[in-house]
A and B are shown apart, each in its own frame.
Chain A
Amino acid sequence: MAAIITETQSIKEAVTSINTIELNKFSRLLSRILQKLHLKEERTFSEEEEQKLQSALSLDKQNLSLVLDTTAFILEQAVYHNVKPASLKQQLEKIHLSPEKAEAFCQAWTAVCPDVVEKVRQRIFAPKKLEHVGWQLNLQMGTSTQAKLKDPHAVLELGVRNEDSESVVEKVFVEFSHQELLHFYNQLETVQAQLDSLT
């Protein structure tokens, strides 16, 4: 397996700092970073938390950033190459991370590896993503243009989320008559056939 981490100057500095951190604290740090790894935009720690970390780990601001960034980088690389825990441990020892820290990485990685990889795999690139499907079936009894109807009509509500807005979901309403819905369903069946042919 090709090396996922090359020992650059900043890596060396980060490793030195990491090696000074107490093992328990470091393990907790690892889990926390792993939890948020699949989320692109969010910062793992808030400003406040970073300040607390500085004093807890006795690192100045610069070194703390370096440690956090490097740890995240190592984990991202592990995800990218989908490395096995044993291989990860080897590589970490190669960059002179202390054995106990390398073991901590390994254990944390083993615990969450498949989940994180799956979550990252599910991450989608398009600016908008379908999140919610709701519907309503109505029986139209009449309109201003037609009396005495008995027309079943469906309204589909598609909740589409924009990539950058965490909370805003745009609701798209589409109305279908029986005929129109049948046509739509046939098109969905074609898509399904395509998906089936992939496996």
Chain B
Amino acid sequence: MSSHAKVAVGASKDSSFLGGRIPSEIEIMAKQLKDLDQEMFRKILKAVVSAIEGKDCREAMKAIAENAALPEERLSYVVAGMYRLLKEALRIPTSSLKQEVFKEDLRELRIPEEFITDFASVVFGNRRTALEAVATQQGPRLPSLKDFRWRVDVAISTSSLARALQPSILMQMKLSDGKAHRFEVPVSKFQELRYNVALILKEMNDLEKRSVLKIQD
């Protein structure tokens, strides 16, 4: 990590939570925030946060763009910078990035104090868990199980066997990528599936208890 020479007064720190090099959109935003009024700032912040949550914020953005006495170019710098700043901050768990350090880093970027408080309330406030949940969903993932349905049938008779009396299981899985899979599971395979899932759960439990994972970083 390249070190960024800083003139620190008081406690010294290596670099901001944003890394050795501050992303350009954040630096530009910091300059743009100087004579922005707080109400406008809060409106934009609200729209950016709902965008991070995955909601459609086109209406809100349109309203802001139309009403504001803000030139479009300036608005776009502010939005880009806010988005990047929040995303980077939310990425780091609260156990690693403390509120005071976060605020300190923002002060070094010369962001006005009231705005720092607003930013901090998003990152460390009660909306945090919801935002983290969205981050988990959006991360690269294989499809997860959205809906699971099943049916147990007993075949009484078939065209090959007058008295079959064979139970079987029909499963339908809808995955998060939209695909649906329906297939029959012989009872023996079902037992194998159940056994394996129990085994993975046991291993997960063992894994979580291991001391390596208890190290705080």
Query: Are A and B co-members of a single complex?
Result: yes
Residues in chain A within 8 A of chain B (CB atoms): 76, 79-82, 117, 120-126, 128-131, 133, 135, 137, 139, 143-150, 152, 154-156, 158, 160, 172-178, 180-182, 184-185, 187-189, 191-192, 194-195, 198
- Where chain B touches its partner, the secondary structure class is mixed
Selected A-B contacts with CB under 8 Å, 28 pairs = A79-B160, A80-B160, A120-B160, A120-B161, A121-B164, A121-B166, A126-B183, A128-B181, A129-B184, A137-B203, A145-B136, A145-B138, A145-B139, A146-B132, A146-B139, A147-B92, A148-B93, A152-B204, A154-B204, A160-B183, A172-B181, A174-B173, A174-B175, A177-B144, A181-B197, A185-B194, A185-B198, A195-B190
Q: Please provide the chain B residues from 69 to 107 with a CB less than 8 Å away from any CB of chain A in the complex.
A: 87, 91-93, 95-96
Known: A129-B184, A147-B92. A191 touches B152 (CB 8 A): yes
Contact residue among B139, B183, B204 (Cβ-Cβ distance under 8 Å from A128): B183
Minimal beta-carbon separation of A152 from chain B (angstroms): 4
Known: A76-B160, A144-B139. A130 touches B93 (CB 8 A): no
Residues of B contacting A79 with CB < 8 Å? 160-161
Q: Please provide the chain B residues from 119 to 160 with a CB less than 8 Å away from any CB of chain A in the complex.
A: 132, 135-136, 138-145, 148, 150, 152, 154-155, 158, 160
Known: A121-B166, A152-B208, A188-B194. A198 touches B181 (CB 8 A): no
B200 CB-CB contact with A under 8 Å: yes
Contact residue among A76, A130, A135, A175 (Cβ-Cβ distance under 8 Å from B186): A130
Q: How far is the CA of A117 from the CA of B217 in the complex (A)?
A: 62
Contact residue among A130, A139, A144 (Cβ-Cβ distance under 8 Å from B193): A130
Contact residue among B141, B145, B152, B203 (Cβ-Cβ distance under 8 Å from A184): B145
B170 CB-CB contact with A under 8 Å: yes
Residue of B nearest to A152 (CB): B204
Residues of A contacting B196 with CB < 8 Å? 133, 135, 156
Task: Return the CB mask of B157-201 against A: 1 if under 8 Å, else 0.
Answer: 010111110111111010100000111111101101110111011
Residues of A contacting B160 with CB < 8 Å? 76, 79-80, 120, 123
Residues of A contacting B203 with CB < 8 Å? 137
Residue of B nearest to A151 (CB): B136
In this complex, the interface size class of chain B, counting residues with CB under 8 Å from chain A, is 35 or more
Contact A191 B169, beta carbon cutoff 8 Å: yes
Residue of A nearest to B182 (CB): A128
Contact residue among B87, B145, B186, B204 (Cβ-Cβ distance under 8 Å from A129): B186
Known: A82-B162, A129-B183. A147 touches B93 (CB 8 A): yes
Residues of B contacting A147 with CB < 8 Å? 91-93, 96
Known: A143-B140, A173-B142, A198-B154. A130 touches B92 (CB 8 A): no
B36 CB-CB contact with A under 8 Å: no
Q: How far is the CA of A144 from the CA of B87 in the complex (A)?
A: 10
B28 CB-CB contact with A under 8 Å: no
Most buried by A among B152, B187, B204: B204
Q: How far is the CA of A154 from the CA of B91 in the complex (A)?
A: 22
Contact A150 B204, beta carbon cutoff 8 Å: no
Residues of B contacting A131 with CB < 8 Å? 189
Residues of B contacting A172 with CB < 8 Å? 173, 175, 181
Residue of B nearest to A128 (CB): B183
Contact residue among B161, B166, B194, B207 (Cβ-Cβ distance under 8 Å from A80): B161
Q: How far is the CA of A25 from the CA of B173 in the complex (A)?
A: 51
Contact residue among B145, B181, B197 (Cβ-Cβ distance under 8 Å from A160): B181
Residues of A contacting B96 with CB < 8 Å? 147-148
Residue of B nearest to A122 (CB): B186
Minimal beta-carbon separation of B37 from chain A (angstroms): 32
Q: How far is the CA of A172 from the CA of B179 in the complex (A)?
A: 10
